[in-house]
Amino acid sequence: MVSTTDSVLREGLSAHGDEFRLTLDPRLSGLPDTAHGGSVLAAFHALAGDARPQQVSGTYRKRVPLGTSLRLTVAREKHGIACELWDDAGAVLVDGGVRSAEDAPPTPTPAIGHP
């Protein structure tokens, strides 16, 4: 069986009461011994469960380890979900969320400089 990025990600995501546990497979590495940032955002997106175009965002506070079970909390909001990824010591590793692209604030247009 061929593993896809999505299937590898979903294998490491499980529900635990009111929150989730996320264990990122070493195949999802970015820097040595650190998860690729896109894999965390993909987990947020998977939990949103919405096929419409979406804006996914995250602020990385600390390194996200691979192969470690991490706490992932999700809160429903008016325009989407808010997510926080925690280590077992209680430190927030990543916070962010997912919202409908229709509800997302517009992306600023870069100013064009004059010579």
Q: Which domains does the chain have, with CATH numbers?
A: 5-100 (3.10.129.10)
pTM of the model: 0.81
Name the strand (E) or helix (H) holding 13.
strand 13-16
pLDDT digit string, tens, across residues 4-26: 888 888 899 999 888 899 999 99
Q: Distance between CA atoms of 61 and 72, rounded to whole angstroms?
A: 14
Q: Distance between CA atoms of 52 and 57, rounded to whole angstroms?
A: 16
Give the full edge-to-edge strand order of the sheet including 92-100.
13-16, 19-22, 70-77, 80-86, 92-100, 54-60
pLDDT digit string, tens, across residues 61-106: 999 999 999 999 999 988 899 999 999 999 999 999 999 877 656 6
94, 61 contact by CB (below 8 A): yes
Q: Taking residues 48-72, what's their average pLDDT? A: 91
